[in-house]
Amino acid sequence: MGITLTRPVVIKAIVTESFKRLYIQDLEDAIKRVDTLVQQIDTQIRRTELERQLSPQSRAVRQQLELERARQEAAKAELQMRLREAEALELNSEFPQGTVESLVEVGIGDNLFNKIGRTEIIIKDGIILEIREEA
């Protein structure tokens, strides 16, 4: 008798010119979206400043806006760091893109650590080149 478990599978991409270009473009687009959001938040903050009567409610709204602005600025800094890393990627190196889950059958007598050990899928421009399983 056996059961099915899930295990993490790391997806790694071989860095090509096209991968690097698309990854950099995605990061630049994300930075632009964050910049737009920060501008919208700044506009809302200015509106709260224009209100002559600072009620406790408008102060709370302003605090929330400033907190969200700080959160977005932190996200932008993270994206900019990732952009610098992306620009420095060497061609033909392996870049971890993320993790998915796969199913694995285990049964009595199996070595659990071998069954759920590190598994990687290596891709190049979306094509699977290799599946690596630690045994």
pLDDT per residue as tens digits for the range 83-132: 999 999 999 999 999 999 999 999 999 998 888 888 999 999 999 999 99
Residues 66 and 34 in one domain: yes
pLDDT in tens, 74-93: 999 999 999 999 999 999 99
- Total domains in the chain come to 2
Q: Do residues 78 and 120 share a domain?
A: no
Task: Clarify whether residues 45 and 105 are in a common domain.
Answer: no
Average pLDDT over residues 51-74: 82
Question: Over pLDDT 90: what percentage of the chain?
Answer: 75
Q: Is the same domain home to 116 and 133?
A: yes
> Does 65 share its domain with 104?
no
Q: Is the pLDDT of residue 58 over 80?
A: no
Are both 7 and 46 inside the same structural domain?
A: no
| Domain match, 26 and 76 both | yes
Residue 60 has pLDDT above 90, yes or no: no
In the block, which residue shows the tokens 């993490």? 8
What integer pLDDT is reported at residue 135 of this predicted model?
Answer: 64
Query: By residue range, what is the domain housing residue 56?
Result: 20-89
76 lies in the same domain as 35: yes
Check whether residue 84 and residue 95 sit in a common domain. no
Rounded CA separation 37/33 (Å): 6
